[in-house]
Amino acid sequence: MSAATHPAVRTGPFGQPFPVVYVDGRFSAEEDSRVSVHANAISYGTGTFEGIRATWNEELGELYLLEAEAHFQRLQQSARVLGLDLAPSPQDLVAASSELLRRNEVRVDTYLRPLYILEGEELPVRMHDVRPRLSIAATPFVGAYISLSGVRCMISSWRRAPDAVLPSRAKLCGSYVGPALAKSEAVASGYDEAIMLNVAGNVTEATTSNLFMRRGTEWLTPAVSDDILEGITRAQVKTLLAERTGSPVLERSVQRTELFVSDEILLCGTAALIVPVVEVSGRPVGDGKPGETTMALQNDLRSIARRADGRHFEWTTPVYGTAEGKA
């Protein structure tokens, strides 16, 4: 099914979700797989999730998952932080994701949503003795999540929770209320996106993407100990930047005013890809135009995601295994 022929492509980046979903090892119709209004996770956000990109390559007739195994490894780690056991291996879950995409006959850029939540109907607030459930659903991803050509950010009044309050390195359902408030505050203030500080006042990340900045010739990004999600795209950007510049990216605490004196800023994430920041809280970034390196990296990652670039085949997994598309 292509983007053009998909029956109900909605406005915005996402289309109508595909009909077949995976739940605890089985494939079924989405309407037969819904959770109860009494599910523990609905009230308390007790769960963890992932977002994985699949990119359609029309010339090769192949669909490629991007860093699927790394995402399922992070799902395992998030479950471990919650004290939950997630039995299937990351490799099993990559295979299940491919099967899901084949069963839905997906031939369009798509977003996968693995979700591991406490679906049991127990009302007490706890992580133990409530039945968990693992699902994977797929949705066409037919537009840009955020402008690919220049994002205007405000520094949010909402802070990232410290690790002692809510573990930021785990991708937890309940921990997205803060970023949702920050995003709405930014949009209501006339910006596209929010950059969040931690309670110590250091720069962390945007609402659903990590941040890199260039000062002179040096690229830096907030340290993993500064309450960020340890992004998979962040790791890719570190690799691509080191390959391009010949120098490693510096990971350290970044102060708020460094945003105002930087020469280039980019945001990166599975949904966002790699996008240039052109303004922060009313101040232009550099000369106020998208950074050259940022745009080159964006182009690199978009090509790598559909194997239109000879590099980093290890980041992608072919779904159909067509002759041309095989590794």
Ligand X SMILES: Cc1ncc(COP(=O)(O)O)c(C=O)c1O
Residues interacting with ligand X, by CB under 6 A?
Answer: 51, 179, 205, 208-210, 229, 231-234, 269-270
By the 10 Å C-beta count (0-12 exposed, 13-18 middle, 19+ buried), 46 is classed as buried
CB of 224 to ligand X, least distance (A): 12
CB of 250 to ligand X, least distance (A): 19
CB of 121 to ligand X, least distance (A): 28
Complex with ligand X: residue 114 or 231, whichever CB lies closer = 231
Complex with ligand X: residue 35 or 195, whichever CB lies closer = 195
Complex with ligand X: residue 214 or 234, whichever CB lies closer = 234
CB of 70 to ligand X, least distance (A): 8
Spatial contact of 198 and 162, defined as CB atoms under 8 Å apart: yes
Rounded to 5 degrees, what angle do the CA atoms 154, 160, 164 make?
Answer: 170
**Angle, helix 232-245 to helix 68-82, in steps of 10 degrees:** 130
Complex with ligand X: residue 173 or 229, whichever CB lies closer = 229
Complex with ligand X: residue 108 or 229, whichever CB lies closer = 229
Rounded to 5 degrees, what angle do the CA atoms 76, 81, 82 make?
Answer: 95
CB of 322 to ligand X, least distance (A): 27
CB of 233 to ligand X, least distance (A): 3
Complex with ligand X: residue 27 or 176, whichever CB lies closer = 176
Complex with ligand X: residue 110 or 233, whichever CB lies closer = 233
Complex with ligand X: residue 169 or 256, whichever CB lies closer = 169
SS3 of the chain? CCCCCCCCCCCCCECCCCCEEEECCEEEEHHHCCCCCCCHHHHHCCEEECCEEEEEECCCCEEEEECHHHHHHHHHHHHHHHCCCCCCCHHHHHHHHHHHHHHCCCCCCEEEEEEEEECCCCCCCCCCCCCEEEEEEEEEECCCCCCCCCEEEEECCCCECCCCCCCCCCCEHHHHHHHHHHHHHHHHCCCCEEEEEECCCEEEEECCCEEEEEECCEEEEECCCCCCCCCHHHHHHHHHHHHHHCCCCEEECCEHHHHHHCCEEEEEECCCEEEEEEEECCEECCCCCCCHHHHHHHHHHHHHHCCCCCCCHHHEEECCCCCCCCC
CB of 158 to ligand X, least distance (A): 12
Complex with ligand X: residue 146 or 232, whichever CB lies closer = 232
CB of 181 to ligand X, least distance (A): 13
CB of 212 to ligand X, least distance (A): 12
